[in-house]
Structure 1
Amino acid sequence: MRYSMENASMKVEVESLGAELKSVLGKKSNIEYMWCSNPEYYKRSAPNLFPIVGSLKDGVYHYQGKSYKMGQHGYVRDVEWKVEKKDENTLVFTHQSDDTTKEKYPFDYEMELIYHMNGNRLEITWNIKNTGKEKMYFSCGFHPCFSCPVHGEADKSGYGYDMHMNGNVICRDFDVESGLALNSKSELKLENGFAAFTKDFFDNGAYVIENNQTHEVSLRDPEGKNYLNVYFPEAPLFGLWSAEKKNAPYAAIEPWFGRCDKEDFNGSLEEREWGHALAQGACFQAAYTIEIAGED
């Protein structure tokens, strides 16, 4: 079921399946800022990723002598969440472990996803609590995809990412076929902090960016205006992505608290790079903010 809220700047819609953000409509511009989930390119708009981000080597992780199969990005994006609270500015969705989830992921947890409108900003907060008796190992992340172009152009040529940083971006190389990280790294060259889109910009898959290189990325239009800003002050990694070799009309900015396995990884769940360990009764918070410029 889809739930909505609106203020003077925006109308927001969130689907209870996966607690997935489906629409951010600018009230002044009438621009739809979220990707429309057209399955020709990508059937989702902003899935929430847990307990893994990206792909596992061979589609399997190992924990305490057992092996568990899991698809890319985990499973909470495909479960029905409960609406815990709805008021004029806030939507709160909750999900907790059960016998079905424990077949895939043998931990007890409770979590809530909070969507809060604050003027022309949408603040998204994910609280995760370990309700089990043992340490819980996980990764999580956000995968919002944004409309690009937004002014009726034929494609997104002339658009690009403003990375809000000096120098170039160091990217972890990524294998599209396996969905795994490589041991090598490459540079994404910027011009005054800007990475311009070309028709082949995303042909080699996602840009995997580690080590807190920036905590703000914007989408810029051909007139040089940043029409959408994404802030992720605590996320140590992020991804930039659009459908490979399709010149698709969207671009993702993905704050991550975890990453796919490397191609040569042979360890257990506890040893996954960029993963998190949560003690019994402890809570973990992940958050990011979407700001739609010109709608304030």
Structure 2
Amino acid sequence: MLSLENNQLKAVFSQHGAELQSLIDQKTQKQYLWQADPKFWGRHAPVLFPIVGRLKDDQYQLNGQTYHLKQHGFARDLDFTIVDQQADRLTFSLHDSAATRGIYPFAFDLQISYQLTANHLTVTYRVKNPTKSKMLFSIGGHPAFTVPLANDESFDDYLVEFQPVGNYQKIPLVGNYTDSAAAQTDRMAGIKLSHETFKNDALIYQLKQKTVLELTTSAHQHGVLLDLPATDYVGIWSPYPAKAPFVCLEPWWGLADDRQATGNFTQKTGLHQLTSQQEFAAKYTISIF
């Protein structure tokens, strides 16, 4: 295990999936990150690449060939290389291989960096296309946060607040797939949580401006801030009907297949495209209080 720490925060990581595995307040020793109890969900904060969500029948077509790719892609299940390690920063790297090209026929350079500053952990994704051909991909985060954070609280004491308050397009899920035709605009200030909130799976919102999500109680005694400066979508999820003691706040640059998707990868909703030698960069910041 690898770690970054200062007098406010300690973050622990694994090379497997370049995954954040622990986020502890140094003063209170409170653990903010879900500890991957397999009874509910055996992950902490996986990286979603080269797709977000699920493909229809876990497959897609590209250049006359059919490829099979499971939900959220393969990066979360591969070992990364450490390319930079400093007192306040850690960078992991993953490249394509014969195995990845068999299910995703693109060359890629993926870097995931973690920067610790005070009570903030900034996560940065960099995707580079090293070839002369265009590259198609999505990427996203899936951090899960402990709810409740105190023994005298319940899951229902928590809410997710949106800043700024305003109109956000909500994209519903039908089974594993999005239903863009049924998307509607909701005026969002906050979501009062209960396990029933997730009876239809994740809540998905399109973001068109800098957005901050705050996961906290009505008393605002402690919680998590997720700062999303330029994120395409956010998913909010907890497994139902399991009554799991965590909530995921997920910044996405991509979406699951639409229920009307044809399987043609070039037409997939939410994909990003890179031309030769072009690089994509995106980031988000987790803050605790």
Q: TM-score, normalised by structure 1?
A: 0.93
> What is the aligned partner in structure 2 of residue 223 from structure 1?
219
Residues 161 and 218 of structure 1 are in contact (CA less than 8 Å); yes or no, is this contact kept in structure 2?
Answer: yes
Secondary structure at the aligned position of 2:99 is classed as helix
> What is the aligned partner in structure 2 of residue 113 from structure 1?
112
Tell me the number of residue pairs that the alignment of Structure 1 and Structure 2 aligns: 288
Q: What CA RMSD, in Å, does the superposition of the two structures yield over aligned residues? A: 1.6
Residues 55 and 257 of structure 2 are in contact (CA less than 8 Å); yes or no, is this contact kept in structure 1?
Answer: yes
Alpha-carbon displacement from aligned partner over 1:146-198 (angstroms, at most 9, x marks no partner): 1111011463111010111324643111023xx101231356675xx221112
CA 1:215/1:172 → structure 2, altered by over 3 Å: closer, same or farther? same
> What is the aligned partner in structure 2 of residue 200 from structure 1?
196
- The separation in 2 between residues aligned to 1:137 and 1:231, in whole angstroms, is 26
Structure 2, gaps ≥5 residues long = none
Structure 1 residue aligned with 2:230, among 230, 234, 247? 234
- The separation in 2 between residues aligned to 1:199 and 1:70, in whole angstroms, is 30
Structure 1 residue aligned with 2:183, among 182, 185, 190? 185
> What is the aligned partner in structure 1 of residue 165 from structure 2?
166
After TM superposition, give the deviation of residue 244 of structure 1 in Å.
1.5
Q: TM-score, normalised by structure 2?
A: 0.95
> What is the aligned partner in structure 2 of residue 145 from structure 1?
144
Select between 220-229 and 52-61 the one with higher mean Cα deviation. 220-229
- The separation in 2 between residues aligned to 1:102 and 1:80, in whole angstroms, is 16
CA 1:213/1:285 → structure 2, altered by over 3 Å: closer, same or farther? closer
Secondary structure at the aligned position of 1:150 is classed as coil
Residues 169 and 185 of structure 2 are in contact (CA less than 8 Å); yes or no, is this contact kept in structure 1?
Answer: yes
After TM superposition, give the deviation of residue 5 of structure 1 in Å.
1.7
After TM superposition, give the deviation of residue 57 of structure 1 in Å.
1.2
Alpha-carbon displacement from aligned partner over 1:228-269 (angstroms, at most 9, x marks no partner): 100111111110001121221111111100000111110521
Structure 1, gaps ≥5 residues long = none
Alpha-carbon displacement from aligned partner over 1:70-120 (angstroms, at most 9, x marks no partner): 110000000000111222111111110111110011111111111110111
Could you tell me which amino acid in structure 2 is paired with residue 59 of structure 1? D
> What is the aligned partner in structure 1 of residue 48 from structure 2?
49
Secondary structure at the aligned position of 2:156 is classed as coil
Residues 133 and 275 of structure 2 are in contact (CA less than 8 Å); yes or no, is this contact kept in structure 1?
Answer: yes
Determine whether 1:261 maps to 2:260.
no
Secondary structure at the aligned position of 1:164 is classed as strand
What's the % identity of the aligned pairs? 29
- The separation in 1 between residues aligned to 2:216 and 2:69, in whole angstroms, is 36
- The separation in 1 between residues aligned to 2:17 and 2:154, in whole angstroms, is 29
After TM superposition, give the deviation of residue 226 of structure 1 in Å.
5.5
Residues 139 and 257 of structure 1 are in contact (CA less than 8 Å); yes or no, is this contact kept in structure 2?
Answer: yes
CA 1:36/1:267 → structure 2, altered by over 3 Å: closer, same or farther? same
Determine whether 1:99 maps to 2:95.
no
After TM superposition, give the deviation of residue 39 of structure 1 in Å.
0.8
Residues 213 and 227 of structure 2 are in contact (CA less than 8 Å); yes or no, is this contact kept in structure 1?
Answer: yes
Residues 15 and 80 of structure 2 are in contact (CA less than 8 Å); yes or no, is this contact kept in structure 1?
Answer: yes
> What is the aligned partner in structure 2 of residue 65 from structure 1?
64
Secondary structure at the aligned position of 1:58 is classed as helix
After TM superposition, give the deviation of residue 286 of structure 1 in Å.
1.7
